[in-house]
């Protein structure tokens, strides 16, 4: 048996490896799924019990030697190939031009929205993405039994009590109201996270931009005028708009703003579910309890808030029908926005 192992080792050492093809032949013969070393393990039962340990060690040494030979020869062949390729380079030839990048469509739309609201006095406010429960939910008058608190919707940090990935940028509003005295006029763009199934229409991460205006004698009419200004700046002066009653735990009364998208194509029917109308944002008057939670007297001040998904805005503007495309970093997709 030991002579058999010795013969295989001698054949292996003498195996002629000169190129990629012969290297592959060596691999198949000595390291492949049907290599000639493997049957030796089955022959161990024919070896006397007192010699099996030594026999097994010799087989393992043979297998390790095969692996070492293969790796050494492969490194030598690849090194020689790289050297040949380097010598074949024409140093006088002009270099390949670098591919110029482009801004991401989410960033393009976000900057456009920021410019629209900055034009009427809003300033950008940014805060942390890892937030505590109080600023994300409680301050925003979200009850303990509200579905948004369920683990199915929120990413909670495993080793940090009451810490989570923010589910909306409303947490920026609560922190600003805590630290600034009215009048407050801010917009809060940023990334948010929700534990949702990824599909063409939803993702576990996306971007929002929320607005907040707090001052004396702020009315629903002020909010309507602000949002109609935004919609006309975003979609054109002739856009058709409507406000529908809705519900949000941190605003009362609450509404949703719809844009008439039309029913000119099959995509229009699918996107608007056959109605022609598309909801673009939620809004409402800030609930007095939210003001109280953040240290603002609701008897003196009032305000409105609104929020929208930036992916939704980008999908509308560029006729993109799958939200997943924003996160795949496909160069072919992103290069379409190089001129923006």
Apex 327 CA angle, 325 and 331, nearest 5:
70
Q: Which of 74, 86, 80, 79 has its CA nearest to residue 20?
A: 74
Q: Are 289 and 141 in contact (CB under 8 A)?
A: yes
pLDDT average, residue stretch 279-289? 94
For residue 328, pLDDT beyond 70: yes
Token pair 């509404």: residue: 255
Q: Which domains does the chain have, with CATH numbers?
A: 2-87 (no CATH), 105-337 (3.30.930.10)
For residue 223, pLDDT beyond 70: yes
Q: Which residue has the higher pLDDT, 180 or 147?
A: 180
For residue 3, pLDDT beyond 80: no
The pair of three-digit structure tokens given for residue 230, joined into one six-digit string: 């935004």
Peptide bond into 9 cis (omega under 30): no
Q: Which of 66, 52, 60, 59 has its CA nearest to residue 13?
A: 66
pLDDT average, residue stretch 162-183? 93
Q: Which residue has the higher pLDDT, 24 or 97?
A: 24
The pair of three-digit structure tokens given for residue 122, joined into one six-digit string: 């809003």
- Phi/psi-derived region of residue 169, left when phi > 0, alpha when psi is between -120 and 50, beta in every other case: alpha
Return the bridge partners of 212, or none: 186, 305
β 130-132/163-165 pair status: antiparallel
Quickly state the pLDDT bin for 298 (edges 50, 70, 90).
very high
β 184-193/123-124 pair status: parallel
Cα–Cα distance, 252 to 202 (Å, whole number): 27
pLDDT average, residue stretch 33-58? 78
For residue 54, pLDDT beyond 90: no
What pLDDT, on a 0 to 100 scale, did the predictor assign at position 220?
A: 96
β 302-309/205-215 pair status: antiparallel
Quickly state the pLDDT bin for 87 (edges 50, 70, 90).
low
């Amino acid at each position: 048996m030991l002579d058999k192992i010795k013969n295989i080792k001698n054949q292996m050492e003498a195996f002629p490896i000169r190129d990629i093809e012969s290297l592959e032949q060596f691999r198949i013969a000595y390291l492949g799924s049907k290599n000639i070393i493997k049957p030796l393990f089955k022959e161990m039962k024919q070896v006397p019990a007192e010699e099996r340990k030594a026999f097994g060690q010799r087989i393992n040494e043979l297998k390790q030697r095969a692996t070492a030979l293969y790796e050494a020869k492969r490194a030598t062949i690849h090194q020689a190939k790289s050297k040949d390729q380097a010598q074949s380079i024409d140093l006088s030839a002009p270099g390949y031009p670098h591919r110029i990048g482009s801004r991401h469509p989410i960033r393009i739309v976000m900057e456009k929205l920021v410019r629209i609201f900055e034009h009427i006095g809003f300033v950008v406010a940014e805060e942390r993405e890892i937030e505590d429960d109080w600023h994300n939910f409680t301050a925003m008058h979200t009850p303990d039994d509200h579905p948004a608190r369920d683990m199915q919707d929120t990413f909670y940090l495993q080793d940090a009590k009451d810490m989570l990935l923010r589910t909306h940028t409303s947490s920026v509003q609560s922190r600003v109201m805590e630290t600034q005295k009215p009048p407050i006029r801010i917009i809060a763009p940023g990334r948010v996270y929700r534990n949702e199934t990824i599909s063409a229409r939803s993702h576990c991460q996306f971007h929002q931009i929320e607005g907040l205006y707090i001052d004396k004698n702020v009315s629903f009419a002020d909010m309507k005028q602000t949002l109609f200004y935004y919609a006309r700046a975003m979609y054109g002066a002739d856009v058709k708009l409507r406000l529908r009653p809705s519900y949000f735990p941190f605003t009362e009364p609450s509404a949703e703003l719809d844009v008439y998208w039309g029913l000119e194509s099959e995509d229009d029917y699918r996107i608007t579910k056959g109605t022609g109308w598309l909801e673009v944002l939620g809004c409402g008057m800030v609930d007095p309890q939210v003001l109280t939670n953040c240290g603002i007297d609701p008897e003196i001040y009032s305000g409105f808030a609104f929020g929208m998904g930036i992916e939704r805005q980008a999908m509308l503007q560029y006729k993109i029908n799958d939200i997943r495309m924003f996160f795949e970093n496909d160069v072919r997709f992103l290069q379409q926005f190089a001129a923006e």
